[in-house]
Amino acid sequence: MEGKEKLRLDKYLWAIRLFKTRSQAGAACDAGKVKYNGDSCKASKIVSAGDEYEVKTEAKRWRIKVTGLLHNRVQYSEAIKYYLDITPAEELERIQFIASSFHTGKRLSKVGRPTKKERRDLDEFMSE
C-alpha cells in the first residue's frame, strides 16, 4: 500500500482539474509555471499534504495548498476537497477586471449589417 502514498505533481494537478490533460500539467512544470517555495519544480516531484504551490495557467495564477492526495480524476465538486485555494485577493480582483472588460469580437444582434428584409426595404426606398 506504500505505492499509493506517492503521487507525482503532474498527476495531482491533473486530478484536481487545474489542467485539462496530464501532459499539459507536465508541460507547465517543464516550462517553469509551477513553483514550490519560489523554485520551479519538475513534474515528477512527489506531492505531500501541506505543500503550497504557485501554478500559472492561462486563466489565472493559483496559489494552492494540498489538503489530500487524489490519485484519479474526479468531478469538480469532489476535486475541490483536495486543495485549498489561497490565491491573493489582488489576483482575484485582476481576474474580475479582465472578465468585465472581455470582448468577444462578435457584433451585437440587430446592429451592423442589415438583414435581407431590411436591405430590400432600403433598396425599395432608395429607388423611389
Tens of pLDDT, residue by residue over 35-94, are: 998 899 999 999 999 999 999 998 889 999 999 999 999 999 999 999 999 988 888 888
Question: Total domain count for the chain?
Answer: 1
Q: Which residue is it, cell 504551490?
A: 53
CATH of the domain at 29: 3.10.290.10
Per the structure, the complete domain to which residue 57 belongs is given by 2-92
Tens of pLDDT, residue by residue over 110-123, are: 667 888 998 899 89
What is the residue-averaged pLDDT of the chain?
87
Pairwise pLDDT comparison (41 vs 104), residue with the higher score: 41
* 124: in domain: no
* 114: in domain: no
Pairing of strands 61-66, 52-56: antiparallel
pLDDT score for 107:
59
* 116: in domain: no
* 56: in domain: yes
